[in-house]
Structure 1
Amino acid sequence: MTEFSELFIGGRRVTSTAPRIIEVRSPYDGSVVGTAPLASHEDIDRAVDAARRAFDQGPWPRLSVEERIQVIERFHALYEARSDEFARFVSREMGAPHWFTQAIRTLITNQSHAFFKAARSYPWEDRRDGFPTGKSLWLREPVGVVAAIIPWNAPHQVALGKLYPALIAGCTVVLKIAEETAVDGQFLGELFAEAGLPEGVFSVIAADKETSERLVTHPGIDKIGFTGSSAVGRRIAGLGGALLKRVSLELGGKSAAIVLEDADIEETVAALKFRSFPNNGQVCVAQTRVLVPRHRQVDFADAMAAMINEMTIGDPSAETTFLGPVVSERQRLRITDYIRQAEAEGTRIAVGGSGMPDGINHGSFIRPTLFIDVDNSSRIAQEEIFGPVVCMTPYDSEEEAIGLANASDYGLAGSIWTPDAERAEAIARRVRTGTVTHGNAAIDLLSPFGGFKQSGIGREFGAEGINHYIEHKTIAI
């Protein structure tokens, strides 16, 4: 068990003003994985005040960009040396299967190098001719003190996706981590301090809803970067907007995989195993709506059902496990409610359903479920379930498939499955979503990532990700 009894504020451990300790328990067997303190309102004030002083008076924003990158690169080296340890810890903490945490481990490495590359080519200063006369100097300066608020499903990857661009830009940051994963984020504070981040620049806090709102509305916060549900995103947007804070939101998804009539069933289903059920279905970009030609639905459903039936379900730390438990009993009950309602409405099930998986009698497990012949307007097809539940909906024409994909309040990700690259691109251009892949193509970490509609505001990764943490200044010469 890993125990943290003190908060990490401004680069050092301090005692909370109102000590409350949260136990983080494994959703697999209920054992205590670790403990960490929950922040009080006064602790939020201390963290923001430290960040404010570090930004207004400290050296960090006044270092060169290259000097800041070098500190972050030292952190990255320290993190890489312990990345397997961290991956295994997150697996125990929130139930992510070993294969997924190892994949995230690789993603963090690639994401980090992509940010270093983007930062070194970013136009931090631009001298140009003015109009109608003169010259001007265009500066990109740090936005200020950032509240970075992250979820529990891929905690280190999401945290670093905000911390790297914010810190490289010269901002100071208060990282608010989820209660479900209140322990793993503590390691980030320790490593950034070891890497040489100056005093006050970085704090890590876990907090409940009320205390988190104190952070969002704190007058010392200039910018809020949030990843999480659309419901919470709307609340943060309202609170931040009322105070004219800069806000970027990476929110939920209900992504559609459009399977065309020439797609190979075996190859497509093998890929959708990882696209539709990653991290026990708890990924915002999961392809949870599979749109198939009506005349091929039976064949695709049979193939997907066979794939699901072959999934190994159990201990998330085992290398042979494909699906572990969802993050908590509360999450299990929420997902089960969706499945039971669809069952009660008579929605057809190809495999799965409510109840525990066969042979499992403990832990927060969900039977991986495939609904078929699903009405695209139904609750299970429209709302983000965030679990191992997939809806298959038939279509009769390419035009209808595009319409079904776009008939959603979300627009985060999606995919087109066909061997015809030109046709895939033509369809992708018409799908209203932030990222579309042709089949199993990898997402480009130097390109902007984010959502249309209720899937968010703003973009992450590459130069566009840095843009959210800078302010523009023009000096007329």
Structure 2
Amino acid sequence: MRQYPHLYIDGRWVEPIAPRQLELIDPTREEPFATVALGGVADADLAVEAARRAFVTFSETSVESRIALIDRIIEVYESRLDEFSELIAQEVGIPVSNRAQVAGPADHMKVARDILRDYPFESRVGTAIVRREPIGVCALVSPWNWPVQTGVIKIIYALAAGCTVVAKPSVESAASGVLLAEVLHEAGVPAGVFNLVSGTGREVGDRLSHHPDVDMISFTGSTGAGKLVGAAAATSTVKRVCLELGGKSANIVLPDADLEKAARWNIQRCFVNTGQSCHAPSRMLVHESQIEKVIPFLLDEAERFRIGDPLDSSTTMGPVVSAAQFASIQDLIRTAIDEGAVLETGGLDRPKGIDRGYFVQPTVFTGVTPKMTIAREEVFGPVLVVLPYRDQDEAVNIANDSPYGLGGYVFGGDLVNAKKVANRIRAGRISVNGAATDSHTPMGGYKQSGIGRSMGRLGLEEYLEVKSVYGFDDEASDLPALFG
């Protein structure tokens, strides 16, 4: 059993004020593999106090010093990639073969550092100086499905801006949160600038949302939980909120698309991370005359996954994170069958030959209508639905007929037309013909998929306030920068 008995507050490893431990369950073996400290409201208060004290000096540090700090964090982090990879395999079932989960965070750190280097914290507008200043103490609440990368993106942009941090990882991935805190400690992040309080959303998350000394909260998770965070932040101190929430992304495959490429890509992108991705293209929209053509490609690609122990380097699909998640996915598959969807592959229960672990069969449904439960609710598992459309307008209408708007996808031979379709999709990030996303660009959602943006220049600006300072004539244009 691994043991992580401490929180990280004010530069020190400390036990919770009311010592409690939480067992983490290995989703592959359905047995405990680690214990982590479970903090509470009093611990969150101490962490916020430490962050508030540290903000006084850290907010005034130079850009150069923060760049040097990020460089040290990158160096320490990259020396421990294998540790992170093995831990999240045990913790949440992410295969060690999925190197993006641990290599991606370093890339995001480098992008944030480079943006910081050239960012204009001050600009002139007539006789005024427009300044961007760090917003203050930031509460950063991360999910379990990208347990390292999501936390890193939040933390590194907050530090780049000159903010101080109280981080709360998901209880399902609390151990990787501790490992990340070890990296920041070793890199020499000043005491109080970064704090880690593991705990439940009901206790620690709620306290951070309401806390009068928290200036901003960034939350990634379900839409339901995000609504609670937003309401708490609004009714307590009107603190800034950045939310990345659920999704039910559509992939519109236009009639002139490469059907095989679109089908195979859709399966791979939808089922990566065992389907536990908010941006998963879980609705594939295909012209009604081409449904039968794409099915063989979908089934063939779905059968290519090697399902098994995520610690085995040959595994390409591990289990879902928990018994509760497994049960939820099974219920949605059962509901789809009961509502008349056609099961093409996969379905209920574990894959053949696997008798324990929260493993879900790669599942594809056709015969789905837009009003079916499986077409509307986020499954968060390896389940794809194929919906027919008659013309391009109907395809766009189906894609937009959702409370979510996190991601969208278009495949088409005519790029001019594909771009027109992409522009009509009400979502925050659209990929055409399987194009890779870019960590320099912002990420966030429309509608109930969120508020605000992370990553890139706009991601940095989430952690900055804007101030206009008046009274400087043209002769004062060579004034030294008032901020870093």
| Aligned residue identity for 2:115 | A
Q: C-alpha separation between the residues in 1 aligned to 2:278 and 2:4?
A: 30
The one of 96, 99, 103 aligned to 1:98: 96
Query: Is contact 2:268-2:301 (8 Å) kept?
Result: no
**1:309 shift after superposition:** 2.2
Query: Is contact 1:369-1:388 (8 Å) kept?
Result: yes
Is 2:166 aligned against 1:174? yes
> Could you tell me the TM-score, scaled by structure 1's length?
0.96
The one of 425, 429, 432 aligned to 2:423: 429
Q: Which residue of 1 aligns with 2:286?
A: 292
Q: C-alpha separation between the residues in 2 aligned to 1:119 and 1:397?
A: 46
Q: C-alpha separation between the residues in 2 aligned to 1:367 and 1:242?
A: 43
Residue 291 of structure 1 aligns to a residue whose secondary structure is strand
The one of 64, 69, 72 aligned to 1:71: 69
Q: Which residue of 2 aligns with 1:107?
A: 104
Q: Which residue of 2 aligns with 1:263?
A: 257
1:132-166: CA deviation from partner (whole Å, max 9, x where unpaired) = xxx11111111000000011011110001111111
| Aligned residue identity for 1:346 | G
The one of 212, 215, 222 aligned to 1:219: 212
Residue 155 of structure 1 aligns to a residue whose secondary structure is coil
Is 2:408 aligned against 1:414? yes
1:292-337: CA deviation from partner (whole Å, max 9, x where unpaired) = 0111111212221122123211111222222110000011001111
After TM superposition, list the pairs within 5 Å mapping 1:128-147 onto structure 2: 128-129=125-126, 135-147=127-139
1:58-112: CA deviation from partner (whole Å, max 9, x where unpaired) = x211111221121011011110111122122111210012232x02233223222
The one of 431, 434, 441 aligned to 2:435: 441
**1:425 shift after superposition:** 0.8
Q: C-alpha separation between the residues in 1 aligned to 2:73 and 2:4?
A: 21
Q: C-alpha separation between the residues in 2 aligned to 1:442 and 1:110?
A: 14
Q: Which residue of 1 aligns with 2:27?
A: 27
Is 2:175 aligned against 1:183? yes
**1:24 shift after superposition:** 1.2
1:183-235: CA deviation from partner (whole Å, max 9, x where unpaired) = 11101212112212111111112111321211211111110001111110111
Deviant stretches of 4+, over 3 Å: none
Q: Which residue of 1 aligns with 2:8?
A: 8
Query: Is contact 2:137-2:213 (8 Å) kept?
Result: yes
Q: C-alpha separation between the residues in 2 aligned to 1:474 and 1:29?
A: 57
| Aligned residue identity for 1:353 | G
Q: Which residue of 1 aligns with 2:367?
A: 373
**1:38 shift after superposition:** 0.4
Residue 417 of structure 2 aligns to a residue whose secondary structure is helix
Query: Is contact 1:149-1:177 (8 Å) kept?
Result: yes
| Aligned residue identity for 2:235 | A
Q: C-alpha separation between the residues in 2 aligned to 1:201 and 1:175?
A: 11
| Aligned residue identity for 1:95 | G
| Aligned residue identity for 2:104 | L
Q: C-alpha separation between the residues in 1 aligned to 2:257 and 2:125?
A: 51
Q: Which residue of 2 aligns with 1:132?
A: none
Residue 97 of structure 2 aligns to a residue whose secondary structure is helix
Larger deviation, residues 137-146 vs 187-196: 187-196
RMSD: 1.3
Query: Is contact 2:347-2:363 (8 Å) kept?
Result: yes
Q: Which residue of 2 aligns with 1:123?
A: 120
Is 2:460 aligned against 1:458? no
Q: Which residue of 1 aligns with 2:397?
A: 403
1:106-136: CA deviation from partner (whole Å, max 9, x where unpaired) = 322322221112212222111331xxxxx11
Query: Is contact 2:248-2:283 (8 Å) kept?
Result: yes
Q: Which runs of 5+ in 2 are unaligned?
A: 472-484
Q: Which residue of 2 aligns with 1:345?
A: 339
Q: Which residue of 2 aligns with 1:206?
A: 198
Q: Which residue of 2 aligns with 1:236?
A: 229
| Aligned residue identity for 2:63 | V
Q: C-alpha separation between the residues in 1 aligned to 2:263 and 2:276?
A: 19
Larger deviation, residues 262-271 vs 165-174: 262-271
Q: C-alpha separation between the residues in 1 aligned to 2:295 and 2:11?
A: 53
**1:471 shift after superposition:** 0.8
Is 2:36 aligned against 1:43? no
Residue 18 of structure 1 aligns to a residue whose secondary structure is coil
Q: C-alpha separation between the residues in 2 aligned to 1:420 and 1:120?
A: 39
Q: C-alpha separation between the residues in 1 aligned to 2:257 and 2:101?
A: 28
The one of 358, 368, 384 aligned to 1:364: 358
Is 2:351 aligned against 1:354? no
Query: Is contact 1:182-1:206 (8 Å) kept?
Result: yes
Q: C-alpha separation between the residues in 1 aligned to 2:448 and 2:198?
A: 26
**1:249 shift after superposition:** 0.3
Q: C-alpha separation between the residues in 2 aligned to 1:450 and 1:386?
A: 18
**1:31 shift after superposition:** 3.9
User: 1:106 and 1:270, CA in 2 relative to 1: closer, same or farther beyond 3 A?
Assistant: farther
Q: C-alpha separation between the residues in 1 aligned to 2:279 and 2:368?
A: 20
**1:173 shift after superposition:** 0.3
Q: C-alpha separation between the residues in 1 aligned to 2:396 and 2:305?
A: 30
How many residues are treated as equivalent by the alignment?
Answer: 469
Residue 326 of structure 1 aligns to a residue whose secondary structure is coil
